Chains A and B, each alone.
Chain A
């Protein structure tokens, strides 16, 4: 078990304390999940042969499904694992977009051009 550090020194104060190390672990888990699924979505879009805007729509659909999946993994109660809902839903959206486009073009070239 790792150690946990308190965010505020005074236990009796009104500032909510939480374990920073566990929060970082949770954020890392979300980041890994989203990156992996962006890559998979890119490969899929390349195989199906999406061109242009349809591919980006596909990416957003996959990311929405990922958000629902992450919320289900957190048991629909973000207070237990995160400090705000926005982290669960919107973290890592744009970073995954670049991986998606990379693997989309890679798979498209592999399947349709060679």
Chain B
């Protein structure tokens, strides 16, 4: 896929690796019978890197912002055939019998 998706997957992988490291760290603390206050510094560093990557992916992957001005350069030619001035109603479809729902 495109770059944003790859970066996002990478960020999620880094986060899951950090989670696994924290689980192992807690196991180690249980053996040494100490309290858990915060993850070790390398895990925190991994979490920050993972957060930065995921944030970048979340801002680029869902798509671009499209301009909403009707007279900007990218909205020009497509709006012309859709305005009501160009719609024709006097075609062969008017000869079809109208569909009337008879409800009592």
Contacts and interface: CB of A to CB of B under 8 A. Distances in A.
Given A1-B78, A33-B59, A48-B47, A80 B22 contact: no
Given A47-B18, A112-B26, A81 B54 contact: no
By secondary structure, the B interface counts as helix
A6 to B, nearest CB: 7
Contact of B23 (A37, A74, A83, A111): A111
Interface string B78-102: 1100111000000000000000000
Interface residues of A, number: 42
Given A23-B68, A44-B51, A110 B19 contact: yes
Interface in A48-107: 48-49, 62, 65-66, 69-70, 73-74, 80-83, 107
A19 B70 CA distance: 6
A3 interface: yes
A interface secondary structure, majority: helix
Given A23-B68, A43-B19, A48-B47, 9 more contacts: A6-B79, A18-B70, A19-B69, A26-B65, A28-B63, A33-B58, A40-B15, A80-B68, A111-B23
9 contacts: A1-B78, A26-B65, A28-B63, A36-B54, A44-B47, A49-B36, A49-B39, A66-B58, A110-B19
Interface of B: 8, 11-12, 15, 18-19, 22-23, 26, 36, 38-39, 43-44, 47, 50-51, 54-55, 57-59, 62-70, 72, 75, 78-79, 82-84
